[in-house]
Amino acid sequence: MDPLLIAIAVVVALTVFTVVLGVLSPRKKAEGGGGSKMAARLDAFRPDYDAPVTSQERVAKLRQRSYSGLPLLSAFLAQFKGSEKAALLLERAGLPLRVGEFYMIKFGVGFVLFFVPLAFGPSLFTVGSGLVSAFIGFMLPSWWVGNKKASRMRRFEGQLVDLLGLLSNSLKSGYGLMQSFEFAGRQMEPPIALEIRRMLRDANLGMSAEDALVAMGERIDSRDLDMVLTAINIQRAVGGNLSEILDQVAATMRDRERIRGEIATLTSQQRMTGIVIGGLPVFMFVLFMMMNPTYMSLLFTEMAGRIMLIGAASLEVSGFFVIKRIMAIEI
């Protein structure tokens, strides 16, 4: 017999066997209680109708986190309360990082910056400067993530009034609350659209509407959103016209945004004054270094000069935070 015909027959037989096996295997797994990884993962979210399961237990399953791609590291990090805070911070900043990766970045930056002062020679001063720079390097990723979170919160709060308008109009047209959120999630842009879709996914996986809304509020950490969610939960508990409540909340937010704009205008001169005063010593230091490096080198070679540099840098940083605190007016 021709070997080519034998090969074709073998290929056809293997193809038919694969198709039959693929069609019949899901039925066997379903009859046997599920054996695939996907079925096992979905079983964690599927309610057991034979045993009573409270909503708190279901919410706890949905909120289980993986702090690292390595199971041992994830279990180790789960023992610390700071891991949950770091996970929330990364979620609020919208960064696709796990806690383990975030800590690796922090320690890596601190380790690198520790050896930067040692490049000028090993001494007690360089070792101390290395420890200070290592601490600064360890905190730099947290500072960057905090800025990302603040920027994301500003974008979110800028979209919140539009969200309330869409929800109110949807409720007036006869939609339910979750249907209104689904419609708003299709119309809005990120980041608020992503949070709405995640909240709807949690609700579809077994969370109650109240728990899903509370979880969204914890992820976003916005006072304006907390006010909206509080109004929604009160209305669901005692009743009332939710669309009218949302319109009133939206009007309140517009007034607060107008007041913020007026405060920013009134304090613009003071903020610019703080920037100029804070930047003047740095500018003069660089200028004198260019004009007379030998004279300014005493700040690096003498112990008194080093102490003066550390004191000046500390006062600059303290003044920056003090001015920032003074200019932060709560509304």
pTM over the 0.85 mark: no
- Is 110's pLDDT higher than 70? yes
109-115: long-range contacts, CB 8 A cutoff, minimum separation 24: 109/137, 109/138, 109/140, 109/141, 110/134, 110/135, 110/137, 110/138, 111/137, 112/137, 113/137
- Is 116's pLDDT higher than 50? yes
Dist CA 31 CA 84 (whole Å): 39
- Is 318's pLDDT higher than 60? yes
Rounded mean pLDDT of 39-44? Answer: 51
Compute the mean pLDDT over every residue in the chain, rounded to the nearest whole number.
76
User: What letter represents residue 139's amino acid?
Assistant: M
Of 266, 250, 227, the C-alpha closest to 158 is 250
Terminal-to-terminal C-alpha distance of the chain: 89
- Is 93's pLDDT higher than 80? yes
| Region of poorest pLDDT, from 11-25, 127-141, 268-282, 288-302 | 11-25
Show the domains of the chain with their CATH numbers: 1-34 (no CATH), 81-151 (no CATH), 153-265 (1.20.81.30), 267-327 (no CATH)
Predicted local confidence at residue 130, as pLDDT: 82
Dist CA 2 CA 58 (whole Å): 62
CB 165 within 8 A of CB 152: no
CB 93 within 8 A of CB 145: yes
SS3 185: helix
pLDDT category of residue 51 using cuts at 50, 70 and 90: very low
Of 127, 132, 172, 82, the C-alpha closest to 310 is 132
Rounded mean pLDDT of 300-328? Answer: 82
pLDDT category of residue 33 using cuts at 50, 70 and 90: very low
Predicted local confidence at residue 20, as pLDDT: 47
